[in-house]
Amino acid sequence: MSWFCDVELGPPIEVFALTKQCTEDTFEQKVNLGVGAYRTNEGKPWVLPVVRAAEKALANDETLNKEYLPVLGIDAFSSAATRMLLGEESPALVENRAFGVQTLSGTGALRVGAEFLARNLGKTVFYYSSPTWENHKLVFKNGGFLEGREYRYWSEKTRGLDIDGFLEDLRNAPEGAVIILHACAHNPTGCDPTEEQWRQIAEVVKERKLFPFFDSAYQGFASGDLIKDAATVRYFVQQGFELFCAQSFAKNFGLYNERVGNLTVVLNNAELVAPVKSQITLVIRGMYSNPPSHGARIVSYVLSNPDLYNQWRDNIRTMSSRIIEMRKKLREALEVLGTPGDWTHITNQIGMFSYTGLNEIQSLHMVKKHHVYMLRSGRISMCGLTPSNVDYVAKAIYETLT
Ligand code: PMP
């Protein structure tokens, strides 16, 4: 007899299970398009040169030690991260009604933000796009939310955004519901609303008194331009919204396993900063007490040094332009082969992921027959494509569809 007899076996997490399966596969031409991590043209993980430089400098800095950080992390880091998101001139920053909190990457920012909203504002309902990054549901449920509801987003038919369905679902949302919005480079579809569509979305969010919780996992990584990728969040701030934004530095700094993130909080009154901060402090204190320092020190060091900052922007452009190039190459290869269907969505989409339009059976066939590892939903990570495997992948798609 054990206390644990009734514990049921949980389902595997698809993306991790897929990576394991790929690692164990001995087929030479196998391609991993599952995992969301940058790869070079040679298919190798990349530590950004600017990160290496910062790590060397930090390793030699004898003034740094291993004492605990404050509960809310390194202030210089969270301020720099918040400025990077909102822009130096943001009205919210000028009026001292915005601040940042260091978190355990983007996931941690979502989790802390969700728990605060559930605990302190009594929020119970959250909305997420259909489809969304699959962890949103678990994070918000674990954060204390009772009910997750979908809003329409992706249209199979047009392989683009279902803006009418999106707006209609928001219009039917109950007042006060929290709505998760991808700041840019929507995961998994790679399909973002246009500027005009964001304006319509903002209007409905305002009208229905919903609370926008942005998820910004790809600033700079999506277009290569930090300002462009933050434009939507900045637009909402200009429109006077109070909002949360979870920022991840996993992709744009390549700091996946260092777990460096920031929760940006925008309020409409500077007097609310102290009480809100104090309650977030209690949420974090009771969750993991305080964050690690290594990744945040790197980001902070780079963001505060003009020379390194420029180098970092070059590094980001290297990554985003390689991805854009791979989109072009994949589409071209599919079209040259005469693959059935329209492939313009591959180059219209942005960021790390692409929804290919392949269905579950076809995606499983890609894995089984061709050793091209991709999610059942038809999502591929563009980062796994290289000049040497893109033709192989295109041929596999062609064979699957014909
Ligand atoms: N949100 C989205 C939309 C993501 O794609 C990711 C990364 N896959 C995250 C949040 C969180 O990532 P991390 O916790 O590694 O920063």
Instruction: Name the band, by pLDDT with cuts 50, 70 and 90, for residue 35.
Output: confident
Task: State the chain's maximal CA–CA distance in angstroms.
Answer: 63
Instruction: Name the band, by pLDDT with cuts 50, 70 and 90, for residue 74.
Output: very high
Average pLDDT of the segment spanning 360-378: 96
Is any ligand 1 atom within 6 A of the Cβ of residue 217? yes
pTM reported for the whole predicted model:
0.96
ipTM for this model: 0.99
CA of 236 to the centre of ligand 1 (A): 21
Is any ligand 1 atom within 6 A of the Cβ of residue 184? no
* Ligand 1, pocket-test mutation among 248, 251, 252, 350, most atoms within 8 A of CB: 248
Q: Residue 32 belongs to what H/E stretch?
A: strand 31-32
CA of 389 to the centre of ligand 1 (A): 26
Q: Is 125 helix (H, G, I), strand (E, B) or coil?
A: strand
pLDDT of residue 362 exceeding 90, the answer is: yes
Q: Which amino acid is at 77?
A: F
Mean pLDDT estimate for the chain: 96
251 tagged catalytic: yes
75 tagged catalytic: no
Is any ligand 1 atom within 6 A of the Cβ of residue 258? no
Dump pLDDT digits (tens) for 4-14: 999 999 999 99
pLDDT of residue 348: 93
Is any ligand 1 atom within 6 A of the Cβ of residue 107? yes
Average pLDDT of the segment spanning 81-89: 97
3-state DSSP: the chain helix, strand, coil percent, rounded to 5? 45, 15, 40
Q: Is 321 helix (H, G, I), strand (E, B) or coil?
A: helix
